């Protein structure tokens, strides 16, 4: 649970599943990183991370891969392991993340035609190989159930400040 003066916050942008849940406040950097990892495991990349710098909220530049120690920690390691090294020079990390989560629509976000064609070939091969079958890492720490009754998060609203209470595991 957060104090009245949290040090961190995440704002979820344009996600219909979370339209009534917009900004979450955290006291601890580990909690905010854990929450961001959970969002990414659910395929949600449209969020902004802020920290409190002397009373002013400053947006922190993030890359989805910053929240995972290795590719093996991601929800679909085969897909992430193939797409990231093959596309990272030409495609934004958020688009690569969405593709690696199995979101074929993300191909349309790639402006560079040769990179898009390469991504389409890799995506097709990953589909044929079953890269998006039940991910092994969902049972690992960091990619458990994010929402629902079994989620390690509880939404709290008080004094116009949405916050998250994290269950101890």
| Angstrom distance (rounded) from CA 102 to CA 82 | 13
DSSP E strand stretches across 54-166: 56-60, 153-158, 161-166
Q: What is the pLDDT of residue 34?
A: 87
Mean pLDDT computed over every residue of the chain: 78
Q: What is the pLDDT of residue 5?
A: 60
Where the chain has pLDDT below 50, the residues are 1-3, 137-140, 142, 145-148, 152-169
Q: pTM of this prediction?
A: 0.70
N residues, the chain = 169
Q: What is the pLDDT of residue 57?
A: 86
Burial of 41 (0-12, 13-18, 19+ CB in 10 A): buried
Question: Residue 77 corresponds to which tokens in the numbers above?
Answer: 């390691």
Q: What is the pLDDT of residue 81?
A: 94
Q: What is the pLDDT of residue 40?
A: 86
Contact (Cβ atoms closer than 8 angstroms) between residue 39 and residue 10:
yes
| Angstrom distance (rounded) from CA 59 to CA 75 | 26
Q: What is the pLDDT of residue 6?
A: 75
Q: What is the pLDDT of residue 48?
A: 85
Nearest alpha carbon to residue 21 among 156, 143, 148, 168: 156
């Amino acid at each position: 649970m957060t104090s009245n003066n949290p040090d961190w916050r995440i704002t979820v942008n344009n996600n219909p599943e979370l339209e009534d849940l917009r900004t979450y406040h955290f006291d601890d950097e580990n909690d905010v990183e854990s929450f961001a990892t959970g969002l990414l495991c659910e395929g949600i990349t449209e969020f902004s991370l802020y920290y409190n710098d002397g009373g002013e909220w400053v947006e922190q530049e993030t890359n989805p891969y910053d929240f995972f120690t290795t590719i093996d920690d991601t929800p679909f390691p085969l897909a992430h392991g193939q797409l990231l090294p093959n596309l990272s020079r030409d495609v934004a990390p958020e688009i690569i993340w969405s593709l690696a989560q199995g979101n074929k629509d993300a191909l349309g976000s790639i402006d560079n035609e040769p990179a898009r064609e390469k991504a389409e070939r890799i995506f097709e091969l990953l589909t044929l190989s079953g890269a998006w079958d039940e991910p092994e890492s969902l049972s690992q720490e960091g990619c458990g159930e994010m929402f629902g009754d079994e989620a390690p998060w509880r939404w709290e609203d008080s004094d116009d400040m949405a916050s998250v209470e994290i269950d101890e595991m």
